[in-house]
A = this chain, B = another copy of it.
Amino acid sequence: MSSDGVAIYRGRERVATVDAADRGLAYGDGVFETIRVHAGAPVWWDAHVARLAGGAARLGFAPSEPAWLRAQVDALLAGHGAPTVLKLVLTRGAGGRGYRAADGLAPTLVLSRHPLPPPVPGPLVLRWCQLRMALQPALAGLKHLNRLEQVLARAEWRDEAIHEGLLLDAAGRVACATAANVFARIEGRWLTPKVDDCGVAGVARAWVLANVPDAAEATLWPADVERAEALFLCNAVRGILPVGRLGDHAWAPHPALAALQRQLGRAEPAFEGS
C-alpha cells in the first residue's frame, strides 16, 4: 500500500504506522467500512458512519467523532476526483497481550484509498460455497475484522469466470455472498436473509429495504433462491448487480430488476448505469 493513499491515526493523532501490538491485528478487534467515492464524496456516508458507530458500541469501544472523521476522509480524498473506494478500519487500539482490553485505549483508524474494481461485463455468475457460516448472534450483522470465513469461502474457487460465491449458514439457510448481500425475487417481492445469526448488515442492503416497497427480510433456502424470478447481489462499492447464473440455474434480465437499478441510479448517481 502506498503511503500516499493511506492515513493512520491513534485516537486523533496522525501516526506513521500501525502498532505491531494493535488489537486489530492480534484479535481482529475492530470494524471496517468499504465506501464508494463518487465526485470526490463518500456515498451513503451517514449510513457507513452509523454502522461503524454501532459496531464499535457492540464491541465496547468509542467510535471516531463523525465530523472529525469526515474531515480526515475529505483530506485523503482531496484532489482525487476519479471514482475510488475508501476503506476505513477502526480498531480498539494497541494493547498488551491478553483478551482483556485495557481501559481508555486510543482507537486506531486506518483510512485508505483504492481503485474502483473494473465493472463486471454482464450479469454475475455465482457458485455455491462449501463453507457454511457459523451462527453467532453476538457478532452477526457487524462488519467486524474477523473475516476468516469469507477468506476461506473466497479461496474455494479460482475460475475467473465465476464472480461470487453464495454461502449457507450452519442451519442450511442462504446467508450472503462472500462480499455482498443477496436478494431473491419471489412472488413479486425482493427477499433477503436476516442478519441476526450471521452475515453483515450491508449498507446497500439497508438502502433496498428502506426504499423498495416490496423488499423484506425472509428465511431463504437454497431451493427458494434457485427458483427465484430474479436474483441480485448488492454492496456499497458496486450497488446492485444482477445475477445471470448460479451453478446450473440461469436467469434472463428481469424488468423489475432493471427498474430497481434505475431507481438506485436516480438516488445515487455513483451507481447510474451499473
Q: Could you list which residues of chain A lie within 8 angstroms of chain B, going by C-beta atoms? A: 1, 6, 8, 16-29, 32, 34, 59-60, 85, 87, 89, 91, 94, 96-101, 110, 112, 114, 117, 131, 134-136, 138-139, 144-155, 170, 178-179
Q: What 3 pairs across the A-B complex have the smallest Cβ distances?
A: A28-B28, A134-B134, A146-B146
Task: Give the docked Cα–Cα distance between A8 and B28 (Å).
Answer: 19
Nearest chain-B residue to A139 (Cβ)?
B148
A28 with B97: CB separation less than 8 A? no
Q: How many copies does the complex hold?
A: 2
CB nearest to A3 among chain B residues: B20
Task: Assess whether B149 is in contact with A136, with CB atoms less than 8 Å apart.
Answer: yes
Chain B residues with Cβ below 8 Å from A145 are 25-28, 148
B20 pairs with A1, CB closer than 8 A:
yes
Name the distance in Å between A128's Cβ and chain B's nearest Cβ.
15
Q: Which residues of B contact A26 (CB under 8 A)?
A: 32, 89, 145, 147
Query: In the assembled complex, which residues on chain B have CB atoms less than 8 Å from the CB atom of A99?
Result: 147, 150-151, 153-154, 178-179
A178 to B29, CA, bound (A): 15
The 14 listed contacts between A and B (C-beta, < 8 Å) are A18-B22, A20-B112, A25-B145, A27-B147, A29-B148, A29-B151, A59-B148, A59-B152, A60-B155, A98-B154, A99-B153, A99-B179, A134-B134, A138-B152
Please determine whether A98 and B148 come into contact, CB atoms closer than 8 angstroms. Answer: no
> B155 near A148 (CB under 8 angstroms)?
no
**In the assembly, what is the distance between CA of A59 and CA of B117, in Å?**
25
Query: Which chain B residue lies CB-closest to A94?
Result: B1
Q: Which residues of B contact A131 (CB under 8 A)?
A: 138
